[in-house]
Structure 1
Amino acid sequence: MEDKKQPQGDLLLRTQTMPADTNPNGDIFGGWVMSQMDIAGSILAKEATCGRVVTIAVEGMKFIEPIQVGDIFCCYGYVEKIGNTSITVKLEVWVKPILNACGVARYQVTEARFVYVAIDENHKKRQIPKK
């Protein structure tokens, strides 16, 4: 299952998938994948907006391939757009199988756009500083 496409953006998060993260079919649960993507995206959004952010939307979530226990989960991303108070981060998840798959190339399993809003200490929208 080799994909000639390469990940877009910076590596934001990398971890190994564990048995506790599976659905009833034994694949990694989509909700776990989405939460890891949200963590990765929020790290980038916080850096880009110089402060707190909250997730307000996930656009275009599409699962391409399942993820197996033991796979190395890698989330890549980049800032796609910065508005006055919101920021859109494009995220891609790629995995590299390592259990019983020596030499198998990494491949993409999902992608989505996560939209965050910058907030202040009172949980109100704030302007994103221009850099």
Structure 2
Amino acid sequence: MSERRPAGTLTLQTVPMPGDTNSGGDVFGGWVVSQMDIAAGVTATDRAQGRCATVAIEALRFHAPVLVGDLFSVFTQVTRTGRTSITMHVEAWVRRQRTGQQMLVTEGDFTFVAIAESGVTRPLPPETPA
């Protein structure tokens, strides 16, 4: 049986610090979600070729805590595009500082819409070949 690997493209990598913890000493879940939203926003902005906004986060699942000193990595993978929207699966993985173990800690589906300068939604441009 093969071990699960991250799905998508590495989009963000950082290390949580002591100031990012909750009262239990683990990294605060809001910090984790904000890092995932930042990474998803990078992917959405690239695909939309401009400004985007988060409109939904669905099926967010926390599998394991994030610890201070973990190498925290976020992977994004576009799963659907609409006329103005981009939906992607976002996975947060860590590599534990002490053990080197890599594990999935959080995953969810994020939806963004492309935004015009006026602040209203706009159609996505045609997808450019990779």
Answer whether TM exceeds 0.5 for this pair: yes
1:26 aligns with 2:22: no
Tell me the residue number matched to 1:120.
116
Tell me the residue number matched to 1:108.
104
The alpha carbon displacement at 1:46 in A equals 0.4
1:47 aligns with 2:46: yes
Unmatched tracts of structure 1, length 5 or more: none
The alpha carbon displacement at 1:130 in A equals 1.5
Unmatched tracts of structure 2, length 5 or more: none
What is the one-letter code of the residue matched to 2:102? R
| TM-score, normalised with respect to structure 1 | 0.93
* Cα distance between partner residues in 2 of 1:17 and 1:95: 10
3-state secondary structure, aligned to 1:20:
helix
* Cα distance between partner residues in 1 of 2:114 and 2:49: 9
* Cα distance between partner residues in 1 of 2:25 and 2:68: 8
* Cα distance between partner residues in 2 of 1:70 and 1:112: 23
* Cα distance between partner residues in 2 of 1:36 and 1:118: 20
The alpha carbon displacement at 1:89 in A equals 1.3
What is the one-letter code of the residue matched to 2:37? D
Deviations 1:85-116 (A, max 9, x none): 11001100000011x32xx3200001001100
After TM superposition, list the pairs within 5 Å mapping 1:1-131 onto structure 2. 4-98=3-97, 100-101=98-99, 104-131=100-127
Runs (4+) off by over 2 Å: none
RMSD between superposed Cα atoms in Å: 1.0
Counting matched residue pairs gives: 126
What is the one-letter code of the residue matched to 1:92? E
| TM-score, normalised with respect to structure 2 | 0.94
